[in-house]
Amino acid sequence: MTEYDLEGIGITDDRAELFNVASSPPEQAGEQRLFTRMSPPGWLLAFWQEIDDKSWGAGFDCLAEDAVCNLGVADWHGREAIRANLRAFVDTGFTAHHDVLEYWDSPRLKIFRGQVRMTPDAAGQPVVTPTMTHFFYMDDADPTKVSRWYGAVGPVAFG
């Protein structure tokens, strides 16, 4: 049973769902991975392009059908739920443009950072460009698909 320390409160797996705490993919203590810094692959750029263009199409096929996404406080399960929730978020009144600035590749884990320029639809609202960092764990059955996505964007403002 995994223990989580939430503000000093011991929360166990059986109660973690109450707090939207998801356990990590199974990893071995002391596991090492070799990463290669390289240009971002086409499938990753196509994924972000779907969001930037608000087209929500085939770029999402890089996600396994049962993929899980923990983006900030989000806990979305399934490719279609991820697509629908991202669409609902972006459609709240801004256009995004994602730039991947650094990409590190290994067979089972892809790590990258970049920026996302968020341009509000409403005139007079400031454009913000927060940092984004993402971990994509690839699927055991089909290593061309993302099975687990951990990501963080922001903050988008201070004060």
Task: Please give the full DSSP string across 20-56, using - where no structure is assigned.
Answer: T--PPPP--TT-----EE-PPPHHHHHHHHHHHHT--
Dmax (CA) of the chain: 51
pLDDT band at 17 (very low <50, low <70, confident <90, very high): very low
Judge contact between 106 and 34, C-beta under 8 A: yes
Q: What predicted TM-score, i.e. pTM, was given to this entire model?
A: 0.81
Average pLDDT over all residues of the chain: 86
* pLDDT tens for each residue of 46-70: 999 999 999 999 999 999 999 999 9
Q: Facing residues of 113 across strands? A: 102, 133
pLDDT band at 158 (very low <50, low <70, confident <90, very high): confident
* pLDDT tens for each residue of 116-154: 999 999 999 999 999 999 999 999 999 999 999 999 999
